[in-house]
Structure 1
């Protein structure tokens, strides 16, 4: 199916907004809310996200009175609307009438209403009901002047991405028939000769439900692909219902964040008129700030570099982590403007007014329980004023010389039950590599496997476990043409069918790397290995040998003592580096610095002192370029720049001192 032509999202400047749930409040509160939104300079509000039971209280009976009212009030106040289809969670009456639509876990147990997303993505009952509702909403509001954007469902697959019920099983079999055509081709792809798993008929195939032993990893990989496609088809069904009834752009909110793995957004992106993402800081990570930057760069990458929307983030604590901590003073502004620096043309929060009941009553909001006499509210209004002042940045694009290759399929293929080490995951490698680049102030584009790399000087390929021959060739051919690439361990291990590339690990990268890896030698989580260059590493080592590569460092101890740990191979006009372990943060940063210097990659601007605590990103428009400087350190930093600073309005004569914890955005005098 060819996606329809994209409809642009047009907004005056950078959008500043929120999710709003007026159904939780009385109309008297709505008036107060809209007045405060105006004060905070909120100009884009998402409503009707969870509106199904309110606008369709009984099957086929629609009541739009309250939604009409709030749409009218927001419009009268000049606030544009990001209108939800209302289908994010089905009403109780639908589940009662059709319990077969409820999702099933891998162990065969049902999941019931009482939370959200209590539906099987493959359920025709749910899909038909959702499309009918989306059609009714679009028919009523499709040409309303307040509607700026359509918001299909909400965080599709957040809770129910993988459903193992009989309806899903039937849909999975249909998907497999379309993919493989014959049962023999499926058996070959899944390697079912192993453990007597060979199938003689399509009806014998089930989703990878809980087994007494480990399950077939190729079957599990395809189930992830199928599940992502099913949710995308659900999005498409609602979008197709809206499209003939409204000319406004249509999207849904992705979840490009550390803990959501089940949707391959590379395959979804073309269906979106504009990329939108939800991102929440994860306090369980070693470096949440670097992960925020990675998520923003990946969101931009999904739109091929075009501006995107931050549909949700938080003003403070969330409610779903083991420890939910508030943000430090100034952090709301720093986090928000980091997303803008990395290409967001909209900054929105969940949610406007903090709920007083329900599962999210302790989730932060723009208007907290403490009300307007609070530090949080004052920072929200300060941010709104800044967003208003930097309106001219909208539409500009980010400059990047470095690419990091990221793959949801590799994430799925790596996180199997049977793997060399349970202590190491795909994101561990991705985040470690990205953090090393980020700490040097270098700007990154996150790209899909097989992407055109011609615009980059340095490419980093962390743990690309699953890779097709043509995807590997896109990297090695780019190196041969003069590029510099770092490929890390666990890359090039299996093909698209999860079949091991034989002849030595690193598979289709082997010749370009000049290294032949013979055996994995993972390292215990509490152990450290030493390298001959004086650095330390952890979690992984490998036994192999250099064929044509120069050995830069070897393992000095551990299970792979004496074997290459870091190599460099001249390949055509370029250089292919291979890293066979996970270095400590300082060593990784020094390695990337060495490669960046070799490739001629520099930060967007010179800095006096340590650059590690700064975000330095340049957005470039038709008539001007904008240097974003986000200072996460408590002390001031000095950066070389000339032009006008947009946050304060000050003239920058050649350098700018950015106070600790502050953000500065310089409209540069001439294209830098």
Structure 2
């Protein structure tokens, strides 16, 4: 019988990183009082405290942590107790300089910040497991400890180390993958090209800086190894904690946001008892609310249910060229959007803004100005909001559309020497996601080989450059059984070894799409072509085109100019009992939105509810009720059809609910089938 490890806190957890060691002890009592005022229910502690907990090797000082945990428990605040292994102390590196990371150019990096260690270092692993074990032994039964927080943001600064120790670990990983068969590796890597054939395992090194571009499959396997190597560190610490406290769940904070792509989180997620994520806004993103939604849906899909937001910012961050402060109501909208997309906990970095250190200009729940600040008022208001939404906890998503997301495909497509260096996986996925978000259509994310696709009416693959045979067959079988699939350009091009699928484009998907391509025509930056057919007037496309001919599909749109004038650009094909669409180009936003609207309609997928532009609508599905989140990002306010109870105010809703300007409404509605039953 397996132990069920879950977070045993009522309602939606609320809090942030708490670093009392940065402050005199007399400040701690004030922290407790203010946390209670704000409605904080859980804080992460000890994340960066290794140097204080273990002042010298094997010598521990838990006096400060004892007081902190006791104080939290006395004030009814749970602790997400961290292993402090993201920041080894200076004494460790003086004793083990070989544990310092080496970059691609061969430079050894110094300690003096965070995550400056080699993930393959035996000395680091030993020290990390030792401090994790000491913490587990001391605090496994402490009543404040509700969850273990393993490490912090794995791979944020040291996703890859190119030292000789890492090279040896890479070879061990390769031997396991290829069954200790060097010929199998040579075949998979295509090493007959450029005289790269290996005759001895010791000849294989990481893809360090070299005179020309390294082998693509070498680079891809290196990305896979780096993700797995860090994952092995997480599971090793997690197992130490589980041994001491079998009932306490363990998490680590993912970084599913904009351009962080170091980890294959499909492999990581099953190893976590609770999936959690950090999310920060890009100051240059004019529609950062879409990034919140996309990443929230992806994390919910990784978790296969609710998840925790472990870090976010109340205002400006500190690590971008210009760090934008949040506007009125934005912090609240951001937080409740995360809840709408599946978060059962909202936390921030950090509780009290630091007065010293690298992140002293990072916003916090308690800012430098103290309680006489707008941020503090917003923090207190958000605590009240989350208490009002307690019953939402545990509810899920009713999505009938799935988007294929694969880190291997992302890594492979963004390697050098592609037909176009302008392709960015997350940008391409977001281009397809955005019109669905604007239309209020719920979305899950899936792997290419995800089973049980029949729960979806429509599957979208905006960018699936790499796909293995099993993934391609899984998507084809979904269409054959009656599903609808839409595929974006340059998909299906290579197999899992980054070998081009011969015979024409789009490779693995030629048959189900009913098209055959013989040449790729990527467009130059700023270049575009016109589109005609069943598309909006003045439709255009940029970034990519390819010459295809129909082998069963019908042309929905063709190019009007350029070298491919008259060639199909968007196609539709009946395959088995289903339908497969191909977008062989990158349409302008209006045209893409129109195409996806038609695809959704033909697949029988309808928007959640008609809402004005700029109003986000999301539904979470509970056992006995649905929760309709309405978030006004445009700042105009709205009147939306709804019936039930508005949870943030407690007021009944009959016919419609008012969403304040720049505000949020959350309506508990009877489940649709229950409403139909009552009406009947």
**If the length of structure 1 is used for normalisation, what is the TM-score?**
0.98
Alignment of 1:436-455 (within 5 A): 436-452=435-451, 453-455=453-455
- Say whether residues 1:190 and 2:154 are aligned partners: no
Alignment partner, residue 651 of structure 2: 650
Alignment partner, residue 512 of structure 1: 512
Distance 1:49 1:462 in 2: 38
**How many angstroms does 1:605 deviate by?**
2.6
**How many angstroms does 1:220 deviate by?**
0.2
Alignment partner, residue 368 of structure 2: 369
Please point out which of 563, 577, 581 is paired with 2:581. 577
Residues 147-199 of structure 1 show CA distances to partners (whole Å, capped at 9, x for unaligned) of 01000000010000111000000000000000112110000000000000000
**How many angstroms does 1:560 deviate by?**
2.8
Count residues with an aligned counterpart. 666
SS in 2 for 1:397: coil
Distance 1:96 1:520 in 2: 54
Distance 1:601 1:573 in 2: 17
Please point out which of 591, 595, 603 is paired with 1:591. 595
Alignment partner, residue 273 of structure 2: 273
Query: Is the Cα contact below 8 Å between 2:414 and 2:423 reproduced in 1?
Result: no
**How many angstroms does 1:219 deviate by?**
0.1
Alignment of 1:214-363 (within 5 A): 214-246=213-245, 247-285=247-285, 287-304=287-304, 306-363=305-362
Distance 1:650 1:344 in 2: 24
Distance 1:588 1:267 in 2: 32
**How many angstroms does 1:215 deviate by?**
0.7
Alignment partner, residue 637 of structure 1: 638
Residues 5-49 of structure 1 show CA distances to partners (whole Å, capped at 9, x for unaligned) of 651222200001100111100111111111111100000000000
**How many angstroms does 1:502 deviate by?**
0.8
Describe the shift of the 1:599–1:325 C-alpha distance in structure 2 as closer, same or farther (beyond 3 A).
same
Query: Is the Cα contact below 8 Å between 1:439 and 1:589 reproduced in 2?
Result: no
Distance 1:666 1:514 in 2: 45
- Say whether residues 1:44 and 2:42 are aligned partners: yes
Query: Is the Cα contact below 8 Å between 1:353 and 1:366 reproduced in 2?
Result: yes
Residues 487-536 of structure 1 show CA distances to partners (whole Å, capped at 9, x for unaligned) of 00011011011111111122221100001111111111111211114311
Distance 2:660 2:357 in 1: 40
Residues 618-642 of structure 1 show CA distances to partners (whole Å, capped at 9, x for unaligned) of 1111222111111111112222210
Query: Is the Cα contact below 8 Å between 2:658 and 2:665 reproduced in 1?
Result: no
Alignment partner, residue 624 of structure 1: 625
- Say whether residues 1:527 and 2:527 are aligned partners: yes
Query: Is the Cα contact below 8 Å between 2:38 and 2:379 reproduced in 1?
Result: yes
Query: Is the Cα contact below 8 Å between 1:390 and 1:646 reproduced in 2?
Result: yes
Alignment partner, residue 677 of structure 2: none
Query: Is the Cα contact below 8 Å between 2:644 and 2:667 reproduced in 1?
Result: yes
**How many angstroms does 1:286 deviate by?**
5.3
Query: Is the Cα contact below 8 Å between 1:480 and 1:573 reproduced in 2?
Result: yes
Alignment partner, residue 55 of structure 2: 57
SS in 2 for 1:284: coil
Distance 1:4 1:408 in 2: 30
**How many angstroms does 1:97 deviate by?**
0.8
Describe the shift of the 1:195–1:5 C-alpha distance in structure 2 as closer, same or farther (beyond 3 A).
farther
Describe the shift of the 1:283–1:222 C-alpha distance in structure 2 as closer, same or farther (beyond 3 A).
same
Query: Is the Cα contact below 8 Å between 1:4 and 1:271 reproduced in 2?
Result: no
Query: Is the Cα contact below 8 Å between 1:521 and 1:541 reproduced in 2?
Result: yes
SS in 2 for 1:628: strand
Query: Is the Cα contact below 8 Å between 1:317 and 1:327 reproduced in 2?
Result: yes
**How many angstroms does 1:670 deviate by?**
4.3
**If the length of structure 2 is used for normalisation, what is the TM-score?**
0.96
SS in 1 for 2:460: strand
Distance 1:616 1:545 in 2: 40
Distance 1:5 1:451 in 2: 26
Alignment partner, residue 152 of structure 1: 150
SS in 1 for 2:455: coil
Describe the shift of the 1:455–1:429 C-alpha distance in structure 2 as closer, same or farther (beyond 3 A).
same
**How many angstroms does 1:657 deviate by?**
2.1
Query: Is the Cα contact below 8 Å between 1:619 and 1:627 reproduced in 2?
Result: yes
Distance 1:259 1:114 in 2: 25
**How many angstroms does 1:562 deviate by?**
2.3
Alignment of 1:374-523 (within 5 A): 374-452=373-451, 453-523=453-523
Query: Is the Cα contact below 8 Å between 1:372 and 1:378 reproduced in 2?
Result: yes
SS in 1 for 2:532: coil
**How many angstroms does 1:299 deviate by?**
0.4
Distance 2:463 2:518 in 1: 17
Distance 1:671 1:40 in 2: 35
> Which range moves more in the overlay, 494-503 or 583-592?
583-592
- Say whether residues 1:69 and 2:67 are aligned partners: yes
Distance 2:355 2:361 in 1: 8
Query: Is the Cα contact below 8 Å between 2:350 and 2:363 reproduced in 1?
Result: yes
Q: Unaligned stretches of 5+ in structure 1?
A: none
Alignment partner, residue 19 of structure 2: 21
Pairwise CA RMSD: 1.3
**How many angstroms does 1:221 deviate by?**
0.1
SS in 2 for 1:384: helix
Describe the shift of the 1:428–1:5 C-alpha distance in structure 2 as closer, same or farther (beyond 3 A).
farther
SS in 2 for 1:439: helix
SS in 2 for 1:133: helix
SS in 2 for 1:502: coil
Distance 1:300 1:400 in 2: 11
Distance 2:425 2:648 in 1: 38
Query: Is the Cα contact below 8 Å between 1:293 and 1:342 reproduced in 2?
Result: yes
Query: Is the Cα contact below 8 Å between 1:488 and 1:581 reproduced in 2?
Result: yes
> Which range moves more in the overlay, 191-200 or 280-289?
280-289
Distance 1:371 1:427 in 2: 38
